[in-house]
Amino acid sequence: MRIAIFAAAGACVLLAGCGGPQTSQANNAQANISNESRDSNTAAPSNAMVMLAAAPSKDQALKIMHERHEAMEGLGKAMKTLHRELDSSKPDISVIRAQTSTMTSVAAKIPSWFPIGTGPDVGKTRAKAEIWKQQDLFARKTKDYASAAQAIDAAAKSGDVNKVMALHENVDKACKGCHDPFRAPEH
């Protein structure tokens, strides 16, 4: 009997675990969409326009997908280097600057990297189809990242390591804020 109770409790925990995230993600998405519709006027028009532009040919699409993949991987490396540098006892501002500069240059290109027709139906990519289903939300998330990257880059250029440290978390949040809903798992 005890085993049955325990098994039932375990099953409930597992089920709760399985159902939980999807439900809450769905709720979040819902909330985000409704937020978005409220202030859709403020969403970056450039992003939306790029998305609505004519779909590229398959070759063009694959080229864009390859370019963005490489750049995102480079951005990951920059983030890791920045993390290590800020964690070290004597952070080197020139190393920090090089990373924040990569962060802003990638941010500037993101809006042109996700035209319609560069999703998982076209080629190997971790970009989820949701990007094109929730374009306004995606545009806002990329804009969040661009602002965070610009702010930390400005702090790095001014040589203020403490400010860079303070702004680091914002960048992390912006990365995660877009990856969680719009990037598929690694494998």
Partner 1 sequence: MKQPIWDLPVRLVHWLLAGLIAFSWWSVHNHHTDWHIWSGCAILTLLIFRLLWGFFGSSTARFSTFVRGPKQIEGYFRGQWRGIGHTPLGALSVIALFGALAVQVGLGLISEDEDGLYTGPLYRLVSTDTSDTARDVHELWFNVILGLIALHVAAIVFYRVRGRHLTKAMITGRGVVDPGSEPMRPGKLWVALICLAIGVGVTRWIIAGAPPFGS
Of the candidate spans 30-38, 53-61, 81-89, 148-156, the one that interacts with partner 1 by CB under 8 A turns out to be 81-89
Residues 58-77 within binding reach of partner 1 (CB under 8 A): 76-77
Count of chain residues binding partner 1 (CB under 8 A): 26
Contact flag: residue 27 with partner 1 (CB under 8 A) = no
Strand-pairing partners, residue 183, are: 127
Contact flag: residue 187 with partner 1 (CB under 8 A) = yes
Q: Can you state the angle between helices 161-182 and 93-109, rounded to 10 degrees?
A: 30
Contact 101, 153 (CB under 8 A): yes
Contact flag: residue 84 with partner 1 (CB under 8 A) = yes
Contact 142, 63 (CB under 8 A): no
Contact flag: residue 31 with partner 1 (CB under 8 A) = no
- Comparing CB distances to partner 1, the nearer of 17 and 162 is 17
Sign of CA dihedral 114, 115, 116, 121: negative
* Cβ-Cβ contacts under 8 Å for 171 (sequence gap 6 or more): 79, 103, 145, 148, 149, 152
Choose which of 32, 81, 112, 150 interacts with partner 1 (CB under 8 A).
81
Give the interface with partner 1 as residue ranges (CB under 8 A): 2-3, 6, 14, 17, 21, 76-84, 87-89, 172, 175-176, 179-180, 185-187
